[in-house]
Structure 1
Amino acid sequence: MSLLAAEALTYVYPGGVPALDAIDLEIARGRRLAVLGPNGAGKTTLLLHLNGTLRPTTGRILLEGAAVDWSRAGLSAWRRRVGLVLQDADDQLFAPTVFEDVSFGPLNLGLGEAEAKARVEEALTALGIADLAGRATHMLSFGQKKRAAIAGAIAMRPEILLLDEPTAGLDARSARRLLATLEELEARGTTLVFTTHDVAMAHRFAHDAVLFADGRIVARGPASELLVDAEVMDRAGLDAVEG
């Protein structure tokens, strides 16, 4: 049984703009999944459905085989298990300081102050930004904002972490450090799903890959095989990695 799945997932934006067209997708526990495709392919829209930010026009989302509950309590329980980190960290950071921002999620879980504080410190340490706890969020560098946003997600201890273009805008060293951190999170039991335009990174880092084009899945399979197949990659408007 998949940990998280979409069945016949279709979404049409207001005004009749189609975004997802009958998507079937299964996310296996412990498998890093890369979602690739050109701009406008539907990658981000997919992630926003997988944590309940958007509700399908038709189709459904399953969590461990059970259809998700769209009630307020159901959404809260769902998002405890499935975290989301947006591409632009400025869309996610809102509190005055890093510590306050990362603590927002744990406190909303109803945790006591001591337990919430422990989770925040654990998350900040895992992301290598414990020294930034008291820093104003608007004073962070681009890479620091990315890490703070991820820390806020992992402080919730999700089973699945969805990341939209996690390495976009980072220099090579910062990207490597972030991927190493994500590997450590995975070792603690978090399943990773990420969108990216970086085919070479996906080839190195992901176990599985899904190729999107025009709101549809055009191919899926092991990243090591799929992303070197020039013919298949061309169907998604992407260049293959040289094998």
Structure 2
Amino acid sequence: MAELILEARGLSFDYPGGVAALDRLDLGIRRGRKLAVLGPNGAGKSTVLLHLNGTLRPRSGRVLLDGVETAYSRAGLTRWRRRVGLVLQEPDDQLFAATVAEDVSFGPLNLGLGEATTRQRVDEALAALGIGDLADRATHMLSFGQKKRAAIAGALAMRPEVLLLDEPLAGLDRLGARRLLDALDRLATAGTTLVFSTHDVDLAWDFADDVALFAAGRVARSGPAAEVLADREALAQAGLEPPLLLELGVRTREEALARWRS
């Protein structure tokens, strides 16, 4: 079994007004895997991603990176975010520079990298997302799908070991979603650990290696995608139904057995 690269232990967090978002949550992320954080709206999926790169600080509990507790000092957060990147659900919350290349270059330049090294990272990140031709395009002139890929390229230029993505397919049409998944699959093949939140069980079945099923701010069950998504009881407790392809497979098998018995 792959080693854990990132862990949440006993995380609890409340939003202003005493709204509980995480309740002593434990989560382990295995190196080099694609983990779907799966659950209904309000289950704590986005909140936990914001904790996993230090954007939010828990009321109690801790986050570990390679088994070492992370620090919330300025230097600690800088080291943390070099290794763990975050892409928000709305790309307009992340894109701010005039052009795509300028936006993607912000992270490397902020790390103190030279112009030549930064340019190389920008070119590599844009190529990885298939948007090299958009380098000089104004960010406000991009389509929604192009903005999504530009935001991911900005995180990728930091060369994180772990990339967190909040609802990466939200707002995309079928073609845009397929292009983005292809790009993310290439990143995973190259060794990047991916963690993405979703309420789409079919996406988790199709794309994830592992699944963490969220309900009421806790992990109800986690493990290999095929095992978790076959657990009807756990899915029902989270208000979800089994993946369509799994249901079709079960139905086909049951019909075949019925024909054989008859």
- Please state which band the TM-score falls in when normalised by the shorter chain: over 0.9
Q: What is aligned with 2:147?
A: 145
Question: Gaps (5+ residues) in structure 1?
Answer: none
Q: Is the 8 A contact 2:92 2:147 kept in 1?
A: yes
Secondary structure of the equivalent of 1:128? coil
Q: Distance in 2 between matches of 1:54 and 1:5?
A: 15
Which amino acid is the alignment partner of residue 229 of structure 1?
Answer: D
Q: What is aligned with 1:216?
A: 218
Question: Gaps (5+ residues) in structure 2?
Answer: 247-262
Cα distance, 1:24 vs. partner? 0.8
Identical columns (%): 67
Secondary structure of the equivalent of 1:40? coil
| Structure 1 stretches of at least 4 aligned residues deviating more than 3 Å after TM superposition | none
Mapping 1:191-230, distance limit 5 Å: 191-230=193-232
Cα offsets for 1:177-201 (capped at 9, x unmatched): 2111111111222100000122111
Cα distance, 1:209 vs. partner? 0.4
Q: Mean Cα displacement is larger for which, 114-123 or 233-242? A: 233-242
Q: What is aligned with 1:168?
A: 170
Query: 1:50 aligned to 2:64?
Result: no
Cα distance, 1:153 vs. partner? 0.4
Q: Distance in 1 between matches of 2:209 and 2:91?
A: 26
Cα offsets for 1:207-228 (capped at 9, x unmatched): 1101111111111121112113
Cα distance, 1:230 vs. partner? 2.2
CA RMSD across the alignment: 0.9
Q: Distance in 2 between matches of 1:228 and 1:171?
A: 27
The one of 237, 240, 256 aligned to 1:238: 240
Q: Mean Cα displacement is larger for which, 153-162 or 192-201? A: 192-201
Q: What is aligned with 1:77?
A: 79
Which amino acid is the alignment partner of residue 62 of structure 1?
Answer: L
Mapping 1:20-99, distance limit 5 Å: 20-99=22-101
Q: What is aligned with 1:121?
A: 123
Q: Mean Cα displacement is larger for which, 228-237 or 195-204? A: 228-237
Q: Is the 8 A contact 2:7 2:26 kept in 1?
A: yes
Q: Distance in 2 between matches of 1:107 and 1:48?
A: 23
Which amino acid is the alignment partner of residue 153 of structure 2?
Answer: A
Q: TM-score, normalised by structure 1?
A: 0.98
Q: How many residue pairs were aligned?
A: 243
Q: TM-score, normalised by structure 2?
A: 0.91
Q: Distance in 1 between matches of 2:150 and 2:33?
A: 24
Secondary structure of the equivalent of 1:87? coil
Q: Distance in 2 between matches of 1:15 and 1:237?
A: 26
Secondary structure of the equivalent of 1:121? helix
Q: Distance in 2 between matches of 1:186 and 1:238?
A: 27
Cα offsets for 1:154-183 (capped at 9, x unmatched): 000000000001111111222112111111
Q: Distance in 2 between matches of 1:216 and 1:69?
A: 23
